[in-house]
Amino acid sequence: MNVYFKKLFTELERQINELNIDQSQSLSNYEQAIEIILEKTNELKSYVTAKGFSNVEKEIYFFKHVKPLFLSKLIYFNSIYKIEINKPPGSIEIIKNYLALESSKIEHYFNENRELYKYYRSNSTYLDQKYFVREQHNVTQGLDTFYFETDHRFSTSHDYKVAKIIANDLIEKYIEEQLNNLSKEKKSITQSKLNWTASKTALIELIYALHYRGVFDNGNSDIRLIAGYFENVFNIDLGNFYHTYLELKTRKLNRTKFLDSLKKELLKKMDEQDDG
């Protein structure tokens, strides 16, 4: 690699590494990374358009191996930024489905460019003159529309596609890591225990309210099964819960004391958040 190109790329990697993106994964760090890459890519463009190439071999090498290194980082960080900023709120399953959809986009790109993947990954060279020399485009090659709007002093028909291949491999790895982390999180949640620290009577009141509301299995679950499930999840022994329920029924005042307090506290918090 040309000494200037190597120095510029080394400086690019150094500045990105200093952001510690892997540890923080903050959106602002992704934004900074994108700005750094744009700056270095513009420097690269200025150098190439001013200096040119002494022969076709060097031009091919640059557009097949050098520029895609810079451009793939831009594609990667911009893609991860969009994945993170558009990540939906919700359960682990919702996020996993969202990431799976993002992964399917990469698979779709692969299917559309299968021959180029084979060509690039097998280190073939017989089409280099067409793919990686400027002003050699052919509309029959299935070019991306944006190519026709690029500065052809700094672009060939396939340098972006190669950068996309490199970036997609990194994006797929990122998605796989995120999915693995979500699986570990789900396993941790499943294995963890929450201790019920309110009274047993309060929990029994809640259980019966949920049971009579028919929220489990369309109202077809047995009360004993529901109570046993809550005992297991919240690490508590409810004892003779039916007897406790009968005592709730015989209360003279406020038979749903716990449920009323839940509603009161929830509305209070909502009002505070509205005022804030």
Taking only the tens place, the pLDDT of each residue in 219-240 is 888 998 999 889 888 888 999 9
How confident is residue 188, by pLDDT bands cut at 50, 70 and 90? confident
Q: What is the DSSP letter of 219?
A: G
Neighbours of 207 (CB within 10 A): 21
Domain extent listing, the chain: 3-191, 200-275
> Distance (Å, rounded) from C-alpha 101 to C-alpha 95?
10
> Distance (Å, rounded) from C-alpha 109 to C-alpha 197?
52
| Side-chain-facing half-sphere of 173: CA atoms under 13 Å | 9
134, 57 Cβ separation under 8 angstroms: no
Q: Can you give the pTM of this predicted structure? A: 0.74
pLDDT in tens, 26-69: 889 999 999 999 999 999 999 999 999 999 999 999 999 999 99
> Distance (Å, rounded) from C-alpha 88 to C-alpha 102?
12
Scanning the chain, the segments in alpha helix (DSSP H) are 3-17, 21-24, 27-51, 56-61, 67-85, 92-112, 114-121, 128-131, 159-191, 200-213, 223-234, 241-249, 257-275
How confident is residue 135, by pLDDT bands cut at 50, 70 and 90? confident
Q: What is the pLDDT of residue 232?
A: 85
